[in-house]
Amino acid sequence: MTDWFTADDVRNAVGAVTAIDQARFDVAAKAARGKAREACGPVFPVETITERVRVRVPCGEVPLRYRPATLTSVALYRSGSALTVGDFDFDGQVLFRRDGGAIAEDLQVVYTAGYSAIDAIPGEIRAYAELAAAQYIRVVRRFLLRGEDPTQVSFLVPAAASEVASEYLLAPGGM
């Protein structure tokens, strides 16, 4: 499988002209993909998500953990009774009934999230990954001591990355 953000993308983001430290670029690309998934949800490939949606009080909308691409099934969580998928729709991370009715019980929702092609990934998410990778490279260069595992380095993604991808960021905890 092809990764949507690679060591070559990292090299371009940080302005490196040679692949002298290929292993560090590979790790930075992996870290950036992870940070993008954490902030924006599944990116590539498309993932099937099965989620229990808790409903404490009947309401018109319920939050989902990720942004669906398509709904696959909706069922009552306790009884397992299938509901008609066409009766539901979503907007961003919000699931609602098309008829405007209230959702009164916990649901089990199965949906797909992510992009089916690398070309379909929004540029803002790609820019988020570039900024995250550049930050990773800076942190590793500055603080990594010889012999430490570079995959265990923690770092903060720059605020600029969040600003660039603000339209695609997930709401904390679904909402």
pLDDT tens digits, one per residue of 101-145: 999 999 999 999 999 999 999 999 999 999 999 888 887 766 654
> What percent of the chain shows pLDDT beyond 90?
63
Predicted confidence band of residue 52 (pLDDT cuts 50, 70, 90):
very high
- Is the alpha carbon torsion for 134, 135, 141, 147 positive or negative? negative
* Alpha-carbon span 43 to 6, nearest angstrom: 14
| DSSP-assigned letters across all residues of 70-130 | EEEEEEETTT--EE-GGGEEEETTEEEETT-PPB-S-EEEEEEES-SSGGGS-HHHHHHHH
Assign 29 a pLDDT band (cuts: 50, 70, 90). Answer: very high
Chain segment 55-77, per-residue pLDDT in tens:
999 999 999 999 999 999 999 99
What does the pLDDT average to over 6-35?
84
* Angstrom distance (rounded) from CA 74 to CA 86: 9
Interval 6-33 mean pLDDT: 83
pLDDT of residue 148: 56
- pLDDT over 80 at 93, yes or no: yes
CA atoms lying within 13 Å on the CB side of residue 40: 30
How confident is the prediction for the chain on average, in pLDDT? 87
pTM for this model (two decimals): 0.82
pLDDT confidence of residue 13: 84
Given a cut of 80, is residue 172 above it in pLDDT? no
How confident is the model at residue 145, as a pLDDT? 47
Average pLDDT over residues 79-94: 93
Strands 47-53 and 70-76 come out as unpaired
Rg for the chain (alpha carbons), in Å?
19
| pLDDT of residue 80 exceeding 80 | yes
Widest CA span in the chain? 61
The whole-angstrom separation of Cα 74 and Cα 52 is: 10
Higher pLDDT, 127 or 18: 127
Which of residues 156 and 109 earns the better pLDDT score? 109
